[in-house]
């Protein structure tokens, strides 16, 4: 499991330079900046279509969504063949590239326990192409493909539980992280670098344009998500060992996360109560897993 670090231990050197394509307040740009700082120079970054256009000082290679898992596999095996296991094949993908369109190849790479690291910046929709719903979009969020209207309350289905889906491949390391908790995020990347096999870190990355909030509120909203238990920070090793990294005595109400985002503005009191109940019940399961130090899958 990761070891706590202080803010002073966050590396100063920037490895990721995000050019003009990032919107103001882009959570994904911050996720890239933090993750690649921690990864350092010995990385080949793999990308699939997504936003923003991330540029890193390290070599980079791109492919189609479906090819992400295969390309990472090929790079990792190639590096091994030439004796360069000091260089890590890292995928930096969106939620579309991880939860949905790229999932089959990544699931196969996870099942083969390929020696790769996947970092997912989860902005909860296909933002690059105009905020279409994805498997990562939460229930009731309005998007361009499930807009709220007389016959629609927004997305009907819950957000896919991708960390546990990858954990159910019994891979060495699965973690969630948030741009509002940079020390935790960097500690997890640091830890992921020390182990071999398939590793995935999913970073919740608020998107001011798609989630419809003022760009200066990115960190506030990400923090509220963690504090309300909507985006809990945890680690799972080998599909079994479990640790909750942020455990407030009491969760904040989900309204602190939902209300500042216009994508949830239409929600009724009853719908908010449903989200609250669901969040509290999932949180109780996570607390139990944390107390046992394991998940029962
Ligand atoms: C097979 C395939 N389907 C659809 C697209 C169109 N497309 C390009 S980027 C994108 C959205 C990507 O969303 P996500 O992975 O969540 O990243 P984000 O843009 O939100 O950062 C889509 C649907 C494509 N390039 N290939």
Residue 192 inside a domain? The answer is yes
Q: Which atom of ligand 1 is nearest to the CA of 28?
A: 21
Instruction: Give DSSP secondary structure letters for 50-67.
Output: -SS--EESS-EEE--GGG
* Residue 9: inside a domain: no
The token duo for 259 is 């209300």
What is the CA(125)–ligand 1 centre distance, in A? Answer: 9
Looking at the domain assignment, is residue 161 inside a domain? yes
**pLDDT at position 183 over 90:** yes
- Predicted confidence (pLDDT) per residue in 146-172, tens digit: 999 999 999 999 999 999 999 999 999
Ligand 1: residue whose CA is nearest its atom 25: 49
CA dihedral 124, 126, 132, 136 (to 10 degrees): -30
Between the CA of 137 and the centroid of ligand 1 the distance, in Å, is 14
The pairing of beta strand 55-56 with beta strand 16-17: antiparallel
> How many Å apart are CA 63 and CA 46, to the nearest integer?
8
What pLDDT sits at residue 39?
A: 95
Number of folded domains in the chain? Answer: 1
Ligand 1 is surrounded, with C-beta below 6 A, by: 28, 49-51, 65, 94-97, 101, 123, 126-129, 134
Per-residue pLDDT band for 54 (boundaries 50, 70, 90) equals confident
**DSSP string across 62-101:** E--GGGHHHHHHHHHHHHHHTT-TTSEEEEEEEHIIIIIT
Domain of 231, in residue numbers: 21-292
Select from 69, 101, 209 the residue to mutate for testing ligand 1; criterion: most ligand atoms less than 8 Å from CB. Answer: 101
Q: What CATH number did the domain enclosing 122 receive?
A: 3.40.50.970
What is the separation, in whole angstroms, between the first and last Cα of the chain? 18
For residue 105, report the distance from its CA to the centre of ligand 1, in Å.
Answer: 15
- Residue 11 maps to a domain: no
Q: Is residue 176 part of a domain?
A: yes
Distance CA 96, CA 133 (A): 9
Alpha helices (runs of H) in the chain, residue ranges in sequence order: 27-39, 68-81, 95, 103-111, 162-167, 182-194, 208-211, 218-227, 255-258, 269-292
pLDDT (average), residues 177-186: 98
- Is position 189 within any domain? yes
The model scores a pTM over 0.75: yes
With respect to residue 281, please indicate whether it lies within any of the assigned structural domains: yes
In a domain, 208, yes or no: yes
Q: Which atom of ligand 1 is nearest to the CA of 98?
A: 15
Please write the tens of the pLDDT for every residue from 72-106: 999 999 999 999 999 999 999 999 999 999 999 99
What does the pLDDT look like over 208-258, one tens digit per residue? 999 999 999 999 999 999 999 999 999 999 999 999 999 999 999 999 999
> Out of 19-33, 134-148, 192-206, 219-233, which region has the weakest mean confidence (pLDDT)?
19-33
Mean pLDDT, the chain, integer: 96
């Amino acid at each position: 499991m990761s070891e706590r670090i202080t803010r002073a231990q966050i590396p100063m050197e920037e490895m990721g330079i995000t050019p003009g394509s990032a919107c103001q307040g882009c959570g994904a740009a911050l996720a890239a900046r933090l993750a690649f700082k921690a990864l350092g120079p010995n990385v080949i970054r793999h990308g699939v279509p997504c936003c923003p256009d991330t540029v890193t000082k390290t070599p980079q290679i791109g492919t189609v969504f479906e090819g992400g898992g295969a390309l990472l596999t090929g790079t990792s095996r190639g590096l091994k063949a030439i004796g360069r296991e000091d260089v890590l094949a890292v995928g930096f993908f969106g939620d579309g590239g991880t939860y949905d369109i790229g999932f089959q190849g990544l699931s196969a790479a996870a099942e083969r326990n390929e020696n790769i690291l996947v970092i997912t910046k989860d902005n909860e929709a296909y933002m690059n192409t105009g905020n279409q719903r994805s498997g990562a979009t939460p229930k009731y969020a309005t998007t361009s493909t499930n807009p709220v209207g007389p016959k629609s309350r927004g997305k009907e289905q819950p957000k896919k539980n991708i960390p546990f889906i990858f954990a159910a491949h019994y891979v060495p390391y699965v973690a969630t992280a948030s741009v509002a908790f940079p020390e935790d995020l960097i500690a997890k990347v640091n830890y992921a670098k020390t182990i071999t096999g398939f590793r995935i870190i999913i970073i919740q990355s608020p998107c001011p344009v798609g989630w419809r909030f003022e760009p200066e509120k990115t960190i506030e909203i990400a923090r509220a998500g963690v504090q309300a238990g909507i985006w809990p920070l945890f680690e799972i090793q080998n599909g079994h060992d479990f640790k909750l990294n942020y455990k407030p005595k009491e969760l904040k109400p989900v309204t602190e996360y939902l209300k500042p985002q216009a994508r949830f503005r239409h929600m009724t009191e009853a719908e908010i109560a449903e989200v609250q109940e669901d969040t509290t019940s999932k949180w109780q399961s996570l607390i139990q897993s944390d107390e046992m130090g394991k998940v029962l899958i």
